[in-house]
Amino acid sequence: MTTIYPVLLVHGIDDTGERFSHMQAGLLARGFPAVYAMNITPPDGSISMQAMAEQVQVAVEGLLRSTGAIKVDIVAYSMGTLVVRYFLQRQGGCANVRRFISIAGPHRGTLTAYFRQNVGSRQMRPQSEFLRDLNSDRAPWGDTQLFSFWSPLDLMILPSVSSLLLGAHHRIFGVLIHSWMVSDGRVIEAVAHTLTSTG
């Protein structure tokens, strides 16, 4: 019998956990017993990724306590993927995370981050000190399994290949709009399959 782990959903900039409403409903309908969409506060990039990662750590610890599980799975979107990476790579999060699915994450930065001047946006720029530090690790994931879902048509992640994540299994979806990546039925089905597969 396949073990289904609790799932933490981590949103992107200017969002809330409500962004994952379709995915959360889809996973619950498929038999996932615990799917929690957290809210990063504030969500506008006005605090650092490091500070946001502390909120992810609190959410993970709370989900472990409330469910009695030994590990959780994390699905993160856009800016949230970088927040989760910091949690995994710099805060020991790999010990508590079985699988991490990155959806439309700017892992090599995005040119659209130049439209804002706050700290979180600056950290998402190509070649930022924050990204250079994370991407300098050669094998940072421990036993955590990585998956990267992205679209070559995404005009928010520029260039779109920035969503490639070293060490991850990749899936490409022809989704036109950045925000649709977490509500598209194909992506939701792929997330459910990835989190229940035994491979």
Tens of pLDDT, residue by residue over 24-51, are 999 999 999 999 999 999 999 999 999 9
Tens of pLDDT, residue by residue over 83-123, are 999 999 999 999 999 999 999 999 999 999 999 999 999 99
Do the Cβ atoms of 63 and 55 come closer than 8 Å? Answer: no
**Among the listed residues 121, 104, 116, 112, the one whose alpha carbon sits nearest the alpha carbon of residue 162:** 104
In angstroms, the CA 60 to CA 105 distance is 20
Q: Is 54 helix (H, G, I), strand (E, B) or coil?
A: helix
Residues 6+ apart with CB under 8 A from 157: 78, 104, 105, 106, 110, 112, 150, 163, 178
What CATH number has the domain spanning 7-196? Answer: 3.40.50.1820
**Among the listed residues 114, 121, 104, 86, the one whose alpha carbon sits nearest the alpha carbon of residue 157:** 104
Q: Could you tell me where the beta strands, DSSP code E, fall in 97-164?
A: 97-103, 145-150
What single DSSP character describes residue 102? E
- pLDDT at residue number 199: 65
169-172 and 35-37: which strand pairing? Answer: unpaired
- pLDDT at residue number 80: 98
- pLDDT at residue number 1: 59
Domains of the chain, by residue range, sit at 7-196
Q: Is 178 helix (H, G, I), strand (E, B) or coil?
A: helix
- pLDDT at residue number 39: 98
Mean pLDDT of the chain: 96
- pLDDT at residue number 3: 86
